[in-house]
Structure 1
């Protein structure tokens, strides 16, 4: 094999490994940002509603909701969801995130 071909193959290999590493970094950064946003929403909800009686009363329903992956939705939990969303209308959290926040209190 000529030196030119060897040099070309080495350059292609170097470029391919660089592209693979950078795509891994982008994927990892995206996943980490998503988890951080979810954690922030959960912690914001739990810290501001720690002493709320409606939310505290929904703990058992929240545990059932989380354990059943959303299949069991108790009356107290639905009331707590409505109350939380009324108190914090800009909070962008799913029902699952809110249930986890209620359990974290």
Structure 2
């Protein structure tokens, strides 16, 4: 069982992308997810300008998150629980619930 306090890193990128894909995350919400995770709006706009494909935008945004290139002191370090909470905030409830169940975490 994974701990909700476990900090995620770049080695977890493939697992995160797989979980989002498997649990039907709407790619059109990648930017909203980034905002909830604490990625700066200007950084999201740069990602969008450089990568027109939404899946690539999602991957790049998650890379920024996992590399702590955001205000992690305010939003917390990358974790499954943080991702689940951000998904809830952008109304991706089913995705959040399924990932929480898969990772044996609380769906708060």
User: Above 0.5 in TM-score?
Assistant: no
Would you tell me which structure has more helix in proportion to its own residues?
Answer: 1
**Rg comparison, structure with higher value:** 1
Answer 1 or 2: higher relative contact order, Cα 8 Å, separation at least 6. Answer: 2
